[in-house]
Structure 1
């Protein structure tokens, strides 16, 4: 696929802002195409409280590049790989983090790396990565513009057409498409597709698709619809899958006590 690099086009975006409470803020900006094929959003969160913010991170199919500072840690840059299980974490007091959330193609073509070795894990990068420093954490809009310009510089002129078609089909179906069907549609063998996924991203295509289906189901749960609307075998299968990726059953997830499931809180606001 040929990609025309147009900075003007990349600057247009859909903005969404969510405030969980007076002490915890989350904001993100969604880019337009062609950048949207590689980046899901550019965002930030901030814990202004004097206490840690308890959260549960759920698998969402994104790879996050964090630029972060807190009162207990100096400025650092961290790349977090794909997650397959829920994880409880505490965001330290007075923490601010700006981030770029990549889709898998962004890892391969913009970051130009493999994340197979950091599934459910992370690695620290150089503190001068992309020439971002602690002063850039003072103004999110300025950070966003700086990152957009950097991403536009790194945007590839061409990508493998099969990979473009592969991810278009996966995202369009919310992960509800079989490997064999993908193979037939894009003329790429199932074996090669799974080898590609495991080598680059550290998990099978089927595992990634289940994560996308879970993420799509969260939109329904956020609206109080606690029954399967996607391709689950039955209600029990639906409950089992939601619990696998969130740690709780759908009814408990909907309650979202103390806004600890940040992703669900964001979906409720949209």
Structure 2
């Protein structure tokens, strides 16, 4: 049996900060090995399995493929955050969590194990919580910066970003390194890769956008996944996953 997946689009009020809410369940009696691919998001997981008690974790940005194990019976409800959420919703830098997982108290945002019983209720509770934290006066330059990055899927220069949001290139690069632990260039590479996944899943193994040529495309894919575009397309045993790009069953 394959993994059971459900996704929920965020309320428009929280959309600048939340990419998606989702649920992942491994109903099998055996653990499932996966390779987690970078997606340019930070995540909070609420999880429980037959071998692990209820716990909450914060997952930082990934810049490389991560080996994961989804334990038998695992049920996970999660929030995939857009990067502005680090500063405005979570109120913390995530520089120390690049390719790492940090623990959160099991009482975080008043969650309990009972919140894993109904996904729709979890989405409603989480939406209410994040709405209460949405700032009244965020730095519009930062929100516009991420809107442009999303709209162009990372295919934009720091010079153009700087001109459009009236924020110096030096300040933008410093902001990324100090707040998220990666460079703007590295983040753009992740966004370009994420945008190419749909093409790869359809067997289109040549770059359709955002990459200069085939060699640059292959190099980028191998750096972020550890395999070639062909191997990623074949995806034997559904071992490659990108959490925020998952689709409901």
TM-score by length of 1: 0.88
How much has 1:64 moved relative to structure 2? 0.5
How much has 1:265 moved relative to structure 2? 11
How much has 1:267 moved relative to structure 2? 5.9
Structure 1 partner of 2:120: 141
Where does structure 2 lack aligned partners over 5 or more consecutive residues?
none
Structure 2 partner of 1:227: 206
Q: Deviations over 1:34-79 (max 9, x none)?
A: 3111000011101111101111100000101011111221111100
Structure 1 residues 205 and 149, CA gap change in structure 2 (3 angstroms)? same
Structure 1 partner of 2:140: 161
- Supply the RMSD in Å over aligned alpha carbons: 1.7
Structure 2 Cα separation of the partners of residues 264 and 82 of structure 1: 12
For the residue of structure 2 that corresponds to 1:117, the secondary structure is helix
Structure 2 Cα separation of the partners of residues 110 and 116 of structure 1: 16
Among candidates 22, 39, 46, match of residue 60 of structure 1? 39
Maintained 8 Å contact 1:64/1:79: yes
Among candidates 209, 217, 236, match of residue 257 of structure 1? 236
Structure 2 Cα separation of the partners of residues 267 and 126 of structure 1: 27
Structure 2 Cα separation of the partners of residues 236 and 264 of structure 1: 27
Among candidates 89, 94, 98, match of residue 68 of structure 2? 89
Structure 2 Cα separation of the partners of residues 60 and 266 of structure 1: 8
Where does structure 1 lack aligned partners over 5 or more consecutive residues?
1-21
Maintained 8 Å contact 1:49/1:93: yes
Maintained 8 Å contact 2:75/2:116: yes
- Following TM superposition, where does structure 1 have runs of at least 4 consecutive aligned residues deviating by more than 2 angstroms? 262-270
Aligned length: 249
TM-score by length of 2: 0.95
What is the 5 A alignment of 1:1-270?
Answer: 22-263=1-242
Structure 1 residues 238 and 52, CA gap change in structure 2 (3 angstroms)? same
Structure 1 residues 212 and 114, CA gap change in structure 2 (3 angstroms)? same
Maintained 8 Å contact 1:71/1:94: yes
Q: Deviations over 1:193-230 (max 9, x none)?
A: 01111111111111111100000011111122111112
Structure 1 Cα separation of the partners of residues 115 and 246 of structure 2: 27
